[in-house]
């Protein structure tokens, strides 16, 4: 599974304008609902419930909000580069400007965890994050996400 198996070019938001964590999650849920045919409120609720367990900000300005939906048929990803960094209650105190939403079918189990790990590995690569922050349009961002994983562990 590659990142591009999870994210389609139309699932990339190159300059999302939000002022808060809640607003960011609402915007991601709205876009995901359009692309998956799932209920926007259900997606938003799943994301909020997950955040209540602990922030999905992983440090370095990156957040990976995620959740499982009963009616979803396959893993779904959506990437957003925020126009302005927002507070996401990250452990390192850094504001978040790169977000990768991951939605999984309820029975996804290991596939969900593998996808989360792959996303985290890719986005925590400093060169990849730098390129994503420098990319201004969806196609450029998609090209960065489509890069093969670096061979450096």
The catalytic residues are: 66
Widest pairwise Cα distance in the chain = 40
Instruction: Provide the 3-class DSSP secondary structure of residue 56.
Output: coil
User: ∠107-109-114 over CA atoms, to 5°?
Assistant: 140
Token representation of residue 84: 């302005």
Which sign does the torsion angle of CA 5, 112, 29, 78 carry? negative
């Amino acid at each position: 599974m590659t990142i591009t198996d999870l994210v389609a070019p139309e699932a990339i938001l190159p300059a999302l304008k939000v002022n808060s964590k809640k607003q960011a999650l609402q915007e991601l849920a709205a876009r995901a609902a359009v692309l998956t045919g799932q209920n926007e409120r259900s997606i938003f609720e799943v994301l909020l419930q997950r955040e209540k367990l602990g922030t999905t900000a992983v440090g370095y300005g990156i957040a990976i909000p995620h959740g499982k939906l009963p009616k979803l048929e396959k893993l779904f990803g959506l990437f957003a580069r925020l126009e302005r960094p927002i507070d996401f209650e990250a452990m390192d105190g850094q504001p978040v400007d790169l977000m990768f939403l991951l939605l999984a079918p309820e029975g996804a189990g290991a596939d969900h965890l593998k996808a989360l790990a792959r996303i985290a590995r890719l986005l925590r690569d400093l060169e990849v994050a730098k390129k994503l922050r420098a990319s201004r349009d969806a196609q450029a961002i998609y090209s960065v996400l489509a890069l093969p994983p670096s061979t450096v562990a």
